[in-house]
Amino acid sequence: MKKEIYFSEKLRYDKGRRDHMLKEKLLDYLKNQTSFFNPKNVSDIFSASDIAEKFSIKRNTASHYLNQLADEGILVKVNTRPVYFFHKKTFELQNYPLANSFYQNLLEIEKEKPIFDKKIDFFQNVIGNRGSLAQTIEQLKMAALYPNGGLPLLLTGESGTGKSYLVQLLYQFCLANDLLTSEAPFITVNCAQYADNPELLTSHLFGHVKGAFTGADTEKIGAFEAAADGFLFLDEVHRLSAEGQEKLFTFLDQGIIYKMGKVIIQSLLIVDWLLPQQKRSTAHF
């Protein structure tokens, strides 16, 4: 009898764990896809049937978990045919606040937009913000709003075209939309100063331990740690040597840093933003 009870409890535990994992997968998927949600032209990828097909589950199973997340206020449900679901917070960060989690149609969502339009457009003074640079500005916003800390950005263009200015505006945009705290740092490193000295670059970007080299009397943090939970802007990144670029790619690819002179590799999860810049697209970064 005890054995039967044990197996019964274990089965309930396993089922509960599987249900939780599936629910998290559905949520992560909609977080990512909501960046592309447009009330004027909604894709069927936001419908329960498409989501069910994506995860190879029954439609009623998908609807069950999606409705649960909507009841919790995490997802927004639009009761059209087909029914659509999208991630509320991601939509609000990229577009405008929503008063509810349930809507009868897409027009009800669009009616809430005029309230948001009164907010400051940080890019309104950029020449070409509604023309040649409109897509670029939209891509900057989408990269900043991407779930789990945003995406690294590489800005290219001739000298004097306003790349640094765009980065400053993006920083203000993130502050205004609560993507960063008011104390979030903005650290700039001019890579041209270290173009021919990859070891000095390593020390400046990643820090060094005491005794790593002559004159290293104390341990020092690097720019990545100094920019924790903020912006790290690497200016003139195309000036880095091949070895310097390799060190940067290691961080971008693996998400780890190591201080100069330290053997143990340390995981770094606190730097949210990396904004390398390059003067010409023909450079080898």
- pLDDT per residue over 175-201, tens digit each? 888 888 888 888 888 888 877 777 787
| Distance (Å, whole) CA 174 – CA 45 | 28
Describe the crossing of helices 242-254 and 198-206 by its angle, rounded to 10 degrees: 30
- Indicate the domain borders of the chain: 2-116, 134-278
- Is-contact 75 31, C-beta < 8 A? no
Q: What is the pLDDT of residue 60?
A: 93
Q: Which two tokens stand for residue 239?
A: 């000036």
User: What's the average model confidence in pLDDT over 25-54?
Assistant: 90
User: What's the average model confidence in pLDDT over 189-217?
Assistant: 77
Q: What angle do CA 75, 77, 79 make, to 5 degrees?
A: 175
Q: Look up the CATH superfamily of 134-278.
A: P-loop containing nucleotide triphosphate hydrolases (3.40.50.300)
pLDDT band, very low/low/confident/very high, at 73 (cuts 50, 70, 90)? very high
- Is-contact 109 97, C-beta < 8 A? no
Query: Higher-confidence residue: 122 or 1?
Result: 122
In sequence order, what DSSP letters do the residues of 259-285 get, joined into one string? -BT--S-EE-----EEEEEES-TTS--
Count of all residues that appear for the chain in the document: 285
Flag whether pLDDT at 275 surpasses 70: no
As assigned by CATH, the class of the 2-116 domain is: mainly alpha
> Lowest-confidence range among 42-46, 222-226, 274-278?
274-278
Q: What is the pLDDT of residue 106?
A: 92
Q: What residues contact residue 252 under an 8 Å CB cut-off, 6+ apart?
A: 152, 274
Beta strands in the chain (DSSP E): 75-78, 84-87, 102-103, 155-156, 186-190, 207-208, 220-221, 231-235, 256-257, 266-267, 273-278
> Lowest-confidence range among 82-96, 111-125, 258-272?
258-272
- The model carries a pTM of 0.53
> Which 3 state secondary structure label does DSSP give 213?
coil
